[in-house]
Amino acid sequence: MKSFKNGAVEIAYLDEGEGEPIVLVHGFASNKGTNWVFPRWVTTLTKAGRRVIAPDMRGHGASSKLYDPADYHSARMAEDVSALLDHLGVGRADVMGYSMGARVTAFLALAAPQKVRSAIFGGLGAHLLDGGGLPDAIAEAMEAPSLDDVTDPQGRTFRSFADRTHSDRKALAACIRGSRQSLTPAEVAHIEPPVLIAIGTTDEVAGSGAVLAEAIPGAELVDIPGRDHMLAVGDRVYKEAVLRFLQQRP
């Protein structure tokens, strides 16, 4: 496993394949393996001739665990991705994020547009604009003594997921409380790279993809039929749309 330090925070990452680089930024409570390796995104992209770079975001996977919500501001996590590109000597890359990772990708595209060739927002729509998304009940579920003590349905889903991935639940509770920043329609209107938005048609977490696409000039929207927030990640329609977008973008 490869890693580097952005200040005091150690970030683990994978770097596979050759060709034009794409950075994959996973979602909340996930990691590079669960979000990108197991659904065969890494295989799909490397076979398509891409160099795939995928970090474990702070608080997740093999990266540093932090317990102050302020350490998980979306801008700070975007800085981790930017620092990883600098560490690898990559000046510019396509960046695809899912859910929380899509929020981080949006912050990166605004803060360092020269580093983002294109931006792909998976599993995130209007909640980028209204600050919605995963509620405090998720943090409370992470802090509960056991899954049996969690009554909130969405909380149970994410607690079960965190248990399966052997995550640090205290770090995840801090993350969910600190990482839900929104952007205004005026801000996302200034996102310079080409944007693709891909959301499952039964996703109740992301918010409207159409609303976000309307706010970003030239953004392309793809519906992933019959998929919810969890199942859309590895869907064939999603992968085909991303490969097509990467081939066609300037």
Q: What is the pLDDT of residues 166-179, one digit of tens each?
A: 899 999 999 999 99
**2-133+170-248 placed in CATH 3.40.50.1820:** yes
Using pLDDT thresholds of 50, 70 and 90, give the confidence band for residue 31: very high
pLDDT at 134: 78
Residue 132, pLDDT > 80, answer no
101 contacts 74 by C-beta, under 8 angstroms:
no
* The pair of three-digit structure tokens given for residue 109, joined into one six-digit string: 């595209």
Closest CA to 142 of 27, 21, 1, 29: 29
* The pair of three-digit structure tokens given for residue 64, joined into one six-digit string: 């540093």
Task: Give all strands (DSSP E) within the chain, no chain letters.
Answer: 2-6, 9-16, 20-25, 50-55, 93-98, 116-122, 195-200, 220-224
Residue 65, pLDDT > 90, answer yes
Using pLDDT thresholds of 50, 70 and 90, give the confidence band for residue 165: confident
Phi, psi torsion values for 183, nearest 5 degrees: -120, 150
Domain coordinates of the chain in residue numbers?
A: 2-133+170-248
Phi, psi torsion values for 123, nearest 5 degrees: 65, 30
Q: Residues 213-231: what's their mean pLDDT?
A: 97
Question: Cα(224)–Cα(231) distance, rounded to whole angstroms?
Answer: 10
**Residue bearing tokens 């590109």:** 85
Tell me the whole-structure pTM to 2 decimals: 0.96
